[in-house]
Amino acid sequence: MTPVMTKVEKPSKLSVNDLIEDRDLSRGDLKLIFEVAQRVKASPGSFARALEGRQLAMIFEKPSLRTRAAFEVGMTSMGGSAVYLDHTKPRLGEREPIKDVARCLERWVHGIVARTFAHSAVKELAEHASIPVINALTDLFHPCQVLGDFFTLREKFGSLEGLKLAYVGDGNNVCHSLLVTGARLGVSVSVSTPPGFEPKAEIVDAATSISRETGATIQTVRDPVKAVAGSSAVYTDVWASMGQEYAAHLRKQVFATYQVTETLMAAAEPYAVFMHCLPAHRGQEVTSAVIDSPRSMIFDQAENRLHVQKALLLLLLQNGSV
């Protein structure tokens, strides 16, 4: 028997059948995801059988702690089950066509979570599978992470409208998702990267276009202090993402002046928080003093990944409103 759940405000259903990239989510979608995540977090027992009989396939080409654990725990804690498919070797599409994988999985499970190198691999899964597909990280976007991040900021500040988030470091997939989702939520995003490591121009343009509708400001600057000035949150990520380990030594030299220190945090608002998607390389992109300080929200972010991903599973796998 599925538990009775209080209805959320309209809309009560996502406008998409898959979560492939942040650009797919409307402002209403984001509001709904946060509302459901808040309810799940407040009363997890109310959802203990919400996904009973549902199965999730998890395809991972890259290592994972938070994303994998949160999806597996999320499914099992709501009565469903998850199967982990290790595609580190061979990668998705090497042993058999991706469309064949999609067509097989849709006969066995109710949803697919995929962490891949190529963004096109997740898009192809969604194109050929009749069941929901969720992007668990690609080289272009990391929507699940950033949904958890903005849910965390919403908890901290009560509202997201008018906040400024500064991102310092590599213009990678997390940076792309922060730009797009931040703009959609009315959060101004300022990005500071070394020359040659900027976020993709098409993503900056997309975020800028969205920001015109929400009143947010999108800015890319070279100087980290300028980016951080007036910000409510300072965010960074590893200098060499998964698959870029070969360039880690060179990147340490290039990014040396982009480290988040107590001095850099002092350029933000006095109440500003520190954020990181983890795993963190202490002493590289951020000092231990910052990451262990009272301003750090990294473990709140990690916890909220579970609640947000449970909300996504409920909204996409239940075939109806939550």
Question: Looking at the 3D structure of the chain, how many domains does it have?
Answer: 2
Q: Which of 54, 119, 142, 251 is catalytic?
A: 142
Q: Which of 87, 139, 145, 259 is catalytic?
A: 145
One domain for residues 273 and 150:
yes
- Of 34, 4, 31, 28, nearest to 15 (Cα)? 28
Specify whether 145 is catalytic: yes
Report the predicted TM-score, pTM, of the whole model to 2 decimal places: 0.94
One domain for residues 119 and 244:
no
Q: Give pLDDT, residue 192.
A: 98
Q: What averages of pLDDT result for each successive group of 10 residues across the chain (322 residues)?
A: 34 90 97 98 97 98 96 98 93 93 98 97 98 98 98 97 96 98 98 97 98 97 98 94 67 93 98 97 97 98 98 88 62
Residue 4 lies in a domain: no
DSSP string, 289-311: HHHTSTTB-HHHHHHHHHHHHHH
Residue 11 lies in a domain: no
Provide the phi-psi class of 200: left if phi over 0, else alpha when psi is between -120 and 50, else beta: beta
- Of 54, 67, 193, nearest to 111 (Cα)? 54
Residue 219 lies in a domain: yes
- Order across the sheet with 188-192: list the strands: 218-221, 188-192, 164-168, 233-236, 273-276
Specify whether 277 is catalytic: yes
* pLDDT single digits (tens) 264-321: 999 999 999 999 999 999 999 999 999 999 999 999 999 999 999 999 999 999 855 5
CATH of the domain at 204: 3.40.50.1370
CB-based contact 134:111 (threshold 8 Å):
yes
Specify whether 307 is catalytic: no
Chain center to CA of 104: 27
Range of the domain at 47: 22-141+303-317
Specify whether 68 is catalytic: no
Q: Which of 38, 277, 284, 295 is catalytic?
A: 277
One domain for residues 153 and 295:
yes
One domain for residues 112 and 242:
no
One domain for residues 246 and 264:
yes
One domain for residues 182 and 130:
no
Residue 5 lies in a domain: no
One domain for residues 98 and 216:
no
Specify whether 22 is catalytic: no
- Residues facing residue 25 across a β-bridge: none
CB-based contact 243:139 (threshold 8 Å):
yes
Q: Give pLDDT, residue 318.
A: 86
Specify whether 115 is catalytic: yes
HEC string of 20-43? Answer: CCHHHCCHHHHHHHHHHHHHHHHC
Q: Which of 115, 119, 251, 295 is catalytic?
A: 115
One domain for residues 115 and 178:
no
- Residues facing residue 86 across a β-bridge: 60
Q: Whole-angstrom Cα distance, residue 298 to residue 64? A: 16
Q: Which of 22, 149, 170, 237 is catalytic?
A: 237
